[in-house]
Structure 1
Amino acid sequence: MKLREEMPTFDGVTEWVNGGVTKSDLKDSPVLVHYWSISCHTCKETLPQLNEWRERYKDQGLRVVSIHMPRSEKDMELGPVKEAIEQYKLIHPVAIDNDYKLVDAYKNQYVPAYYLFDAEQKLRHYQAGEKGLKMLEKRLDRVLMPEEVER
């Protein structure tokens, strides 16, 4: 995806955990779309940071949607994915994308990957891997609290 591109819909999700969302449900809210996989060690290490952001920025209206992208056939087993969602306290909506419909819509290739959309549902930042988490945090601040960043 390119910057300023509009957020894709969530059509084609295999299954939702913690309730599903539509693009219209997220209207007027900044959204962090997060890709991860159960077989990705780095993904699991970064989940506590994702949860921290979800809580820290909820008063600024941030909505978090995670997308589980299987990297192998074993990753498509729903039981272990659901157990990991519970274990890592992912209480926000999590889409299971076993048919790669969302992967294709986002043109995503990596896990972990983060797509930050502003309240107008335009892509403001993309980041992949754990090394860019500090950069992503700066972008979250800029999108969610622009008046404070400008001071």
Structure 2
Amino acid sequence: MPLKLRETLPDLSGATEWINGEIDKARIEGKPLLVHFWAVSCYMCKESLPTLNEWRDKYGKQYNLQLLGVHMPRSEKDTDLAAVRDAVAQYELKHPILVDNEHNVTDAFQNEYVPAYYLFDEQGQMRFYGAGEKAIGLVEQRLHKILGPKDQA
């Protein structure tokens, strides 16, 4: 069972590696945060990455939205750090990516799926969870609610 609405951001410790810099709760305090779980072997995950980049650029600059990718391996093959780094470069992911080969963060989130999206508001409370291929379509609607009406323009 994944986190429940209004729960606070779980601990982010126990990463195998960080790509594009480490993120901690202090750095994102007072800012909305979108956490996306993905895996290099997940086709649906890769399809969503360009959309996440668009949101990072669009909402990050204007509304201080922070993105955090959590690479959650689904098989032994997914634990290849070089393959993860290659995917990060190929899909031009510039936000922090936490590689979770031991599932420490995955377990803290009680996450079972990729792709999966967790949206936290400025107070650090989870306001949305979605998983699977249709979830990406719901994330932006929730982003608008959290970021406020000014972003509707």
Pairs aligned (count): 149
Task: Compute the TM-score of the two structures, normalised by the length of structure 1.
Answer: 0.95
Among 78, 81, 98, which residue is 1:95 paired with? 98
Residue 47 (structure 2) aligns with? 45
* Structure 1: 4+ residue segments shifted above 4 A: 146-149
Distance in 2 between residues matched to 1:82 and 1:70, nearest whole Å: 13
1:120 is the counterpart of 2:120 = no
Counterpart contact for 1:3–1:124, Cα < 8 Å: yes
Residue 72 (structure 2) aligns with? 69
Distance in 1 between residues matched to 2:102 and 2:83, nearest whole Å: 17
- 1:70-105 per-position Cα deviation (integer Å, ceiling 9, x unaligned): 000010010011000000000000000001001100
Counting aligned pairs with the same residue, the percent is 48
State the AA in 2 paired with 1:39. Answer: S
Residue 13 (structure 1) aligns with? 15
Distance in 2 between residues matched to 1:34 and 1:44, nearest whole Å: 12
Among 106, 110, 132, which residue is 2:135 paired with? 132
Distance in 1 between residues matched to 2:17 and 2:44, nearest whole Å: 23
Residue 113 (structure 2) aligns with? 110
Counterpart contact for 2:116–2:135, Cα < 8 Å: no
Counterpart contact for 1:118–1:143, Cα < 8 Å: yes
Counterpart contact for 1:35–1:111, Cα < 8 Å: yes
How far residue 147 of structure 1 moved from its aligned partner, in angstroms, is 5.6
Gap runs ≥5 in structure 2:
none
RMSD: 1.1
1:143 is the counterpart of 2:146 = yes
State the AA in 1 paired with 2:55. Answer: W
Gap runs ≥5 in structure 1:
none
Residue 83 (structure 1) aligns with? 86
